[in-house]
Amino acid sequence: MLRKREYAAVGETAFTGKTGSGLTVTVVPKPGYRKSMAFLAVNYGGADRNFRLAGELISTPAGTAHFVEHRLFEVEGGENALTTLSERGANANAFTSPDMTAYHFECTDSFFENLELLLKFVSTPYFTDEDVERERAIIAQEIRMMEDDPEDAMYYALLRCLFDKPALRESVAGSVESIGKITARTLMDAHKAFYIPRNMALVVAGDQDPARIVEMAERLLPDNMAPAPVREHGPPEGPLPVAVSAEREMDVGAPMFLAGAKTKSGLTGRESVKFELTASLALSSLLGAASPLYRELYDAGFINETFGYDFENTAGASMLSFGGETQKPEYVCMRILEEAADLAARGIDPAFFARRKRMALGSALRALGSFENICYNVAAGGFAGYDYLDTVNVLASVTAEDARAFLAEYMTLDKCAISIINRKG
């Protein structure tokens, strides 16, 4: 049974509920739109290498979740679900993040035929030893391409500086060595453990009938009432980085850097949302294009349009990062930390912060125009225990003092690490 909820602050409506087997279903109506999107997410990602099932601790090779994602599109009989969806005019894809795997499509016609196929191929695994061997070569090539990409190399070098746990330091795709240990049985066991209705969420955005969507999910997904696995991420990370710097030469047009710090971990629900919004507003106040520091560094030629910042909250850990192309990576990083200390000491100007919040509100409202953004965030919020469509109300509660305290706590020299990519020669 779906219940209707109105979100007056953002002008949206959602129907939410669970099927008999525990699948969470959310439908966000978009009356008058021809386009619709279906997003089937699994609360299982690349960082979930160790988990408990019926009290037993199970360990899997790095890259298992990503490998399952690759293979699920192949169904028994030789059909490729991605090809079929494309032939019907749907734009379909999938991804694996550290804490989620998701399969989705967007279309203007044949929505329910496409939804039926999505529900069937995700819930009906077909793994053979021969297919796994063939896929292993494809994924190994993908891994090597990532290793040769300067931005990926820089990002993962920073992760290895910051984090101690292998699951947080390494790519969700694993390594060529780790995927060599994956077998058809490994994939089947992972699918059996995690791909159960109560560990999944279906989100639909579009002008579609919510009752029919629930009926289809009830009918096509297995009536599996097994308990969901307990993900074992281990104890929380310590506050300091494992290493302070990493440096490498690659074929790049200009030197580049990415610096960052670990932040608070283990947050869920509304507390998690507020912390993420606080982090974004703090970084915007310090490093946004309208900030005095950005103009100083840009006008002096120390940074260019590639400079940016980010905040990530995933797999039981969170981090901030900032960087871009520059001839003086160490200087830029130190100058940013100096300004962060000054800003934390004197406080953020209330009027300036109010403008940052208005911009953040505008961005949040514009994001609701993207079906993909709605579906992803509703699913991720459900897994983390919060309601994404209520985010703007949480944003209103973030203060300049919250942002100042964030800078004082995390934007410090002892907590930051830096990854640098230099030009060869």
The pLDDT-based confidence of 171 (bands split at 50, 70, 90) is: very high
The token duo for 59 is 């360990």
Query: Would you state the pLDDT for residue 111?
Result: 97
Say yes or no to pLDDT of 226 above 90: no
With tokens 């993908």, the residue in question is 142
The Cα 98–Cα 44 span in angstroms is 8
Say yes or no to pLDDT of 425 above 80: no
The Cα 147–Cα 166 span in angstroms is 17
**Radius of gyration (Cα) for the chain, nearest Å?**
22
Q: What are the chain's domains?
A: 3-231 (3.30.830.10), 245-423 (3.30.830.10)
Mean pLDDT of 316-343: 97
pTM, to two decimals: 0.94
For residue 195, what are the contacts with CB-CB under 8 A and spacing of at least 6? 42, 44, 68, 122, 123, 125
The token duo for 419 is 């990854």
Burial label for 407, CB within 10 Å (0-12, 13-18, 19+), is buried
Burial label for 351, CB within 10 Å (0-12, 13-18, 19+), is exposed
The token duo for 51 is 């988990």
Number of Cβ atoms within 10 Å of the Cβ of 265: 17
Mean pLDDT of 192-196: 95
The token duo for 286 is 């310090």
Q: Give one DSSP letter per residue of 146-172, joined into a string.
A: HHT-HHHHHHHHHHHHH--SHHHHS-T
Residue pair 3/16 in contact (Cβ under 8 Å)? The answer is yes
Mean pLDDT of 402-409: 98
The token duo for 319 is 């981090």
Task: State whether the Cα torsion 80-85-89-93 is positive or negative.
Answer: negative
With tokens 């069937």, the residue in question is 120
Say yes or no to pLDDT of 361 above 90: yes
Say yes or no to pLDDT of 266 above 90: no
Strand partners, 80: 74
Rounded (10°) angle between helices 111-123 and 210-220: 30
Average pLDDT over all residues of the chain:
95
The pLDDT-based confidence of 105 (bands split at 50, 70, 90) is: very high
The Cα 43–Cα 384 span in angstroms is 10
The Cα 15–Cα 1 span in angstroms is 9
The Cα 292–Cα 240 span in angstroms is 28
The pLDDT-based confidence of 78 (bands split at 50, 70, 90) is: confident
**How many Å separate Cα 310 from the centre of its chain?**
12
The Cα 96–Cα 75 span in angstroms is 19
Specify the DSSP class assigned to residue 238.
Answer: P
Strand partners, 41: 102, 201
CA quadruple 217, 221, 227, 229: dihedral, nearest 10: -100
